[in-house]
């Protein structure tokens, strides 16, 4: 792994995450031998908007059960398990962080989805899959750690069949300046690479994609982050939540993300683009 990729993997990787998550599930009264994707949604949808955002992107991308899907930067696998269980499609997940990949596999076993979802460790800039092997490439909140967007989108296009679709949820640079660090994706700017939405759109078009749908979701993200910051202030954090993945920086990260959204330092968007 390159040195810069290792810094990103070290940022996300936390030991014994599986035990902490299973412990929190037990605390909320779940039977950890019979888990459903819904049981895990508070902790395994590691992006703005949580499960609702995944449902929304799946509708926008017109996901159906016949598709072979690749989730790039799949994290611990919440979106991939949702797509597999809701639509019945086969999903491959790829992530840089080995701990996340191992945990995604364990959670697939415990939700009895191991025949539908497969995870492997790897870099989005060098996808370990043949040309034209997927109908859909999916990625939520992963590109913020990736500077070389032309290469990222080029790899995503390569593994898509002609006419296949790329479904993206991403954080973009806003006009207000740098985000406040730490953010949910980076402790400092050395591993954070945000670009304005219009330059991302131009990069996708330059790479050989046609834009099918583009949605600005900044306002929803702001509302959700406001609610999250309020819950934090009132001390009412549930046992199972993203604080488990983010760790002790969670209170600072939550407040920073709210300020960054309020001051238009970050924007969020969903996009569906088609390989031409
Ligand atoms: C904020 S998490 C989002 C995880 C998942 N997409 C979700 O929404 O639940 C970002 C993920 O991107 C992964 N990532 C960052 N850079 C990557 C790269 N170059 N290749 C593969 N995965 C990467 C990280 O390891 C992390 O799991």
Q: Which of 14-23, 83-92, 124-133 has the lowest mean pLDDT?
A: 14-23
Which among 96, 149, 170 is the best mutation to test ligand 1's pocket, defined by most ligand atoms within 8 Å of the CB? 96
CA of residue 185 to ligand 1 center, whole Å: 9
Q: Say which residues have a Cβ less than 8 Å from residue 109's Cβ, sequence separation at least 6.
A: none
**14 has a pLDDT exceeding 80:** no
Per-residue pLDDT tens digits for 153-205: 999 999 999 999 999 999 999 999 999 999 999 999 999 999 999 999 999 99
Integer Cα distance of 161 and 121 in angstroms: 22
Stated length of the chain: 276
pLDDT of residue 2: 86
Per-residue pLDDT tens digits for 77-120: 999 999 999 999 999 999 999 999 999 999 999 999 999 999 99
Ligand 1 pocket residues where CB is under 6 Å:
5, 8, 12, 45-47, 73-75, 78-79, 94-97, 100, 123-125, 140-142, 145-146, 185
Please state, for a pLDDT cut of 70, what percent of the chain lies above it.
100
Domain extent for 197: 3-122+131-275
Which among 11, 73, 83 is the best mutation to test ligand 1's pocket, defined by most ligand atoms within 8 Å of the CB? 73
Per-residue pLDDT tens digits for 211-225: 999 999 999 999 999
In the chain, the N- to C-terminal Cα span, in Å, equals 31
pLDDT of residue 98: 95
pTM of the predicted model over 0.85: yes
Instruction: Give the DSSP letter string of 40-66.
Output: HHHHH--STTHHHHHHHHHHHHT--TT
Domain of 232: which CATH number? 3.40.50.150
When pLDDT is cut at 50, 70 and 90, the band that residue 10 belongs to is confident
The pairing of strands 134-140 and 68-72 is: parallel
pLDDT of residue 1: 84
Domain count along the chain:
1
């Amino acid at each position: 792994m390159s040195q810069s990729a290792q810094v990103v993997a070290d940022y996300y990787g936390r030991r014994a995450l599986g035990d902490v998550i299973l412990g929190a599930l037990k605390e909320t009264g779940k039977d950890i031998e019979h888990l459903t994707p819904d049981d895990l949604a508070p902790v395994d949808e590691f992006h703005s908007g949580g499960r609702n955002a995944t449902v929304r992107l799946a509708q926008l991308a017109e996901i159906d059960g016949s598709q072979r899907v690749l989730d790039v930067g799949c994290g611990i696998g919440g979106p991939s398990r949702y797509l597999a269980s809701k639509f019945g499609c086969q999903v491959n997940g790829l992530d840089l962080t080995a701990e996340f990949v191992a945990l995604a596999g364990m959670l697939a076993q415990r939700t009895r989805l191991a025949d539908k979802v497969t995870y492997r460790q790897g870099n989005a800039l060098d996808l370990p899959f043949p040309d034209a092997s997927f109908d859909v490439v999916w990625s939520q909140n992963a590109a913020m750690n990736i500077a070389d967007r032309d290469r990222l989108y080029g790899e995503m296009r390569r593994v898509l069949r002609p006419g296949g679709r790329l479904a993206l949820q991403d954080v973009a640079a806003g006009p207000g300046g740098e985000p406040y660090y730490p953010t949910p994706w980076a402790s400092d700017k050395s591993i954070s690479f945000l670009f304005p939405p219009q330059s991302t759109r131009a990069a996708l078009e330059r790479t050989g994609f046609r834009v099918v749908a583009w949605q600005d979701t900044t306002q929803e993200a702001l509302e959700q982050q406001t609610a999250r910051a309020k819950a934090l202030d009132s001390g009412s954090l549930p046992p199972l939540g993203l604080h488990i993945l983010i760790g002790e920086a969670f209170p600072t990260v939550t407040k920073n993300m709210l300020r960054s959204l309020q001051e238009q330092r970050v924007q969020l968007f969903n996009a569906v683009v088609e390989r031409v």
